[in-house]
Structure 1
Amino acid sequence: MTSSHQGLGPAVEIDERLTAIERRLDLLLNLTPVNAAEAWADFERGDFGAAPTLRLRPLEFEPDLLRRELYDLEIETVDDPALHTLFRSKRDEIAREITILEDRDTSRFVYGSLQLYGEVSPPLASAAEELLDLIPPQAPSSRSVTAGAFAQAAQEEFERYQAVYPDFPTAVEVREDVSELMVSFGRLLIPETAAIRADRVEPLLHHEVGTHVVTYQNGARQPLTLLTIGLPGYDETQEGLAVLAEYLVGGLDPRRLRVLAARVVAVGKMLEGAEFLDIFESLRGEYRIPVKTAWSIAIRVVVGGGSVKDAIYLRGITRILETLAEGNSLDVLFVGKLALDHVSLVQDLLDRGVLEEPWVRPRWLEVPGAQERLDRLRAGASVTDLYEGVAS
């Protein structure tokens, strides 16, 4: 670790300060409604006739001060070309994040979201429609587990990692102020009102713990702390990897695939000007998405003023499938939170000894049947090939 720090030279301080600024932003939590459970109850009580009012938590930072701190960083003093490029790009991304948080609940928000997460391309929109057409609508699942039961299962999953990597930290929190399962800075946050499909528990653990927490902890072992919070544009690759994890453990079932496709469709409708009720009714009527699922997809898309983030799941797995078919290894993606676009840059840093090989290897690579599934994907596959034709 020390020699790696020496290799980074003056970049160490820039890296640490960029990371500290991003942590203070806490983009994920600051774009998560705090009243989703009561908003759903009101929506249901009103027979799905009135759009919900979603409340976001107040910002705990002063945007202008944070922006000033960001541009005070002397990135020009970093000599290493790879790190210099990376830091400039990350500074640009953080500046966009500050702006998008300032623009919450205004018409400007959606433009910032597009800058951060990209548009829905025609091929992506077509793949989503094809999946929804190919996979028959699924009946809502009747069996679910509570937040407490899921937290217990998550604790056990952390312990499986600790059995192999004794220093692997555990961080599971059941929270009343989050509406979705999420990992924030290595902590698994579970909504207090969660009712999680029983057959989704294992794939979700591999998605959240085995991908998001594992890459966070691998990043935490690196001298470059940006690998914990993510290199620029990392989200798409992270979610693609996490969906791959679900597939390799046999947990990417028809319902889940329909949800990933419906998210892309919902983003497309929002970008065309559709509002919450239009999106909800279209998902429920035209695509026969179950009511609670249609609600969840719709609020994720309209939150803040219009978010395109949910399109990255299908786009991310599409790009992961392409990289597998090209014969590329996934190993470098476990170094920390990075995008496929950074693989050559990170590989260069690994080769020069600036970064170290990943500390933890995801358990989902070792699950029975995972290697056979991976080999099939390496032979070439599209997202529609992930549907194995078994309705549940």
Structure 2
Amino acid sequence: MGTARSAHSTALNPRGRLPHRLGSVEAWFGKVAGYVSRMTSTTEQLAPVLEVDARLTEIERELDLLLNLTPVNAAEAWTDFERSDFGTAPTLRLRPLEFDPDLVRRDLYNLEIETVEDPALHTLFRAKRDEIARQVTALEDRDTSRFLYGSLQLYGGVAPSLARAAEDLLEMIPPQAPSSQSVTAGAFADAAKTEFARYREVHADFPTAMDVRADVGELMVSFGRLLIPESATFRSDRVEPLLHHEIGTHVVTYQNGAKQPLQLLTIGLPGYDETQEGLAVLAEYLTGGLDPRRLRVLAGRVVAVGRLLEGAGFLDIFESLRTDHSIPTRTAWNITTRVVVGGGNVKDAIYLRGISRILEMLAEGGSLEPLFVGKLALDHIPLVQELLEREVLSPAWVRPRWLDVPGAQERLERLRAGASVIDLYEGEKAA
């Protein structure tokens, strides 16, 4: 069958954890915390850390991985695909890169990470530098067979347990009829402005950072800015959950990170994506917005990534979602384009994996609070907790509104008692 066509170090392990050789994770991050705390009294000692941190942040901003993997012609591609009676794989065009990969690599490896004396911090920065280097290579390899391998290095594959959970959800949840209630991009933007205003009622300088754009096909947050696709429509019942997902999680953690001395907390510590998306899915669940349709989409993404890794092309994945799992045509299109873009992107498996790991953490008695300090992974929690206790980092500036929505705390307590992703399905809800 056809495939989609597109025009134009040290790896994290598949679960997004930092490589380390300093004993347990807790001991490793404890060393970092102790070192940073000691340094705070000596500006001269702290300078190399802040310099490397700032430069790594600046370089990743220049790459803009998310935007550079977003098709610029999504609406036109859908129209062409529909006209072909879903028989011709679409051409997905990506924007030209606005940086020279070789110059970015030179900047990366000219960073004097060796001036950071503590081995734990040194390893942290090296891990972030290697992650950025892999992003550079992945972007350079867009529209080639090499891109898939770069995506795997960044996000990991699909473990058998995750694949089974996705299949179970699709089998357990009855197919859902497409919703007839929708709002335009303009109406969604108005709702987003209102949501930003709610945060400003508590924090007057919380910015309204958003754009309605013709060159994005998916709702997203890029470096704290909400980007709304101009041609998109949104299910009416999905507006509030999407606001909690995008603004209440992605924007809030960005703004909280911006208040911290380490700028990496705005763009994300190494391997943060899985936890960040899992936290955003949790926000949907706690506010009652993780409905059967949404759960089927998250499961369908995992199944689509699995098919991709088996060698399936666009048309095979698209048809499998429609015929094997009764996923509506437009939804199957959205899932498939996200997975095949650039040559094969496995990132979409992290949503279900991320919420699975957060559920495990909650059942073990873990706290969500450290995750609001900035963009970080579950494995960074010991470091953040230590730095908070030593007042190197500050508590989160903004508390996500979704924690205080009626019923949210009761739902959270049920999850703390032990739950899997299967338990997130609460039966049928009104369309």
After TM superposition, the score normalised by the length of structure 2 is 0.89
> What is the aligned partner in structure 1 of residue 21 from structure 2?
none
Aligned to 1:171: 209
**Residue 222 (structure 1) aligns with:** 260
Partner of 2:366: 328
Q: CA deviation at 1:5?
A: 9.3
Whether 1:27 and 2:85 are equivalent positions in the alignment is no
Describe the shift of the 1:206–1:5 C-alpha distance in structure 2 as closer, same or farther (beyond 3 A).
farther
Select the residue among 74, 78, 102 that pairs with 2:140.
102
1: CA distance, partners of 2:117 / 2:187: 50
Determine helix, strand or coil for the equivalent of 2:91: coil
Instruction: State the Cα distance separating 1:84 from its structure 2 match.
Output: 2.0
Cα distance, 1:3 vs structure 2: 6.0
* Percent identity for Structure 1 against Structure 2: 78
Partner residue of 1:53 out of 91, 112, 130: 91
Question: Could you tell me how far apart the structure 1 residues matched to 2:408 and 2:223 are?
Answer: 27
Rounded Cα–Cα distance in structure 1 between residues aligned with 2:399 and 2:268: 18
Of 164, 170, 173, which aligns to 1:126? 164
Query: 1:94, 1:213 → 2: CA distance?
Result: 21
- Aligned pairs for 1:83-232 (under 5 A) are 83-232=121-270
2:312 to 266, 270, 274: 274
**Which residue of 313, 318, 321 maps to 2:351?**
313
Matched, 1:366 2:398: no
3-state SS of 2:226 partner: strand
Q: Which residue pairs with 2:293 in the alignment?
A: 255
What does 1:232-247 correspond to in 2, within 5 Å?
Answer: 232-247=270-285
Q: Secondary structure of 2:93's match?
A: coil
Partner Cα distance (1:265, 1:338) in 2: 26
Q: Which residue among 247, 264, 282 is the counterpart of 2:302?
A: 264
| Selected match of 1:289 from 316, 327, 330 | 327
Quick one: distance in 1 between partners of 2:191 and 2:41?
Answer: 36
AA aligned to 2:321 is L
Which has the larger displacement, 88-97 or 338-347? 338-347
The 3-state SS of whatever aligns with 1:88 is helix
Partner of 2:109: 71
Query: Once the two structures are superposed, what CA deviation does each residue of 1:91-148 show, in whole Å capped at 9, x if it has no partner?
Result: 0100000000000000100000000000100000000000000000000001100000
Match of 1:16 among 37, 54, 57: 54
Indicate conservation of the 8 Å contact 1:5/1:354, yes or no: no
Question: What amino acid maps onto 2:125 in structure 1?
Answer: F
Amino acid across the alignment from 1:291: T
SS in structure 2 at match of 1:360:
coil
CA distance in 2, matches of 1:128, 1:121: 11
Q: Give, in whole Å, the separation in 1 of the partners of 2:362 and 2:206.
A: 28
Q: In the aligned structure 1, how far is the partner of 2:225 from the partner of 2:137?
A: 25
Q: Distance in 1 between matches of 2:119 and 2:368?
A: 25
Alignment partner, residue 357 of structure 1: 395
Structure 2 counterpart SS, 1:21: helix
Does 1:39 find its partner at 2:94? no
Give 1:267's aligned amino acid: V
CA contact (8 A) 1:244 1:317 kept: yes
Distance 1:313 1:297 in 2: 13
Q: Which structure 2 segments of 5+ residues have no match?
A: 1-38
Displacement, 1:354? 2.1
Cα distance in 1 for partners of 2:297, 2:219 equals 15
Instruction: Answer whether contact 1:15 1:224 (CA < 8 A) is retained.
Output: yes
Q: Which residue of 2 aligns with 1:375?
A: 413
The answer as to whether partners of 1:75 and 1:84 remain within 8 angstroms in 2 is yes
Cα deviations by residue, 1:136-183 (Å, 9 ceiling, x for unpaired): 000000110000000000000000000001110111100000010000
- CA distance in 2 between partners of 1:58 and 1:354 (Å): 40
Using the TM superposition, give the Cα deviation of residue 348 of structure 1 relative to its aligned residue in structure 2, in angstroms: 2.3
1:303 paired with 2:341, answer yes
Give, in whole Å, the separation in 2 of the partners of 1:124 and 1:70: 35
Q: What is the rounded CA distance, in whole Å, between the counterparts of 2:149 and 2:272 in structure 1?
A: 19
- Answering whether residue 93 of structure 2 is matched by residue 62 of structure 1, we say no
Q: Tell me how far apart the structure 1 counterparts of residues 42 and 421 of structure 2 sit (CA, whole Å).
A: 41
The alignment yields a C-alpha RMSD, in angstroms, of 1.3
Q: Distance in 2 between the 1:59 and 1:49 partners? A: 31
Quote the Cα distance in structure 2 between the aligned partners of 1:8 and 1:330: 29
Instruction: Give the C-alpha shift of residue 347 in structure 1.
Output: 1.9
2:173 aligned partner, one-letter code:
I
- Give, in whole Å, the separation in 2 of the partners of 1:189 and 1:5: 41
The TM-score normalised by the length of structure 1 is 0.98
How big is the shift at 1:231? 0.5
Residue 86 of structure 1 and its aligned partner are, at CA, apart by 1.6
Change (3 A) 1:328 1:201: same
Q: CA deviation at 1:81?
A: 4.0
For 1:15 and 1:351, locate their aligned partners in 2 and report how far apart those are by CA, in whole Å: 21
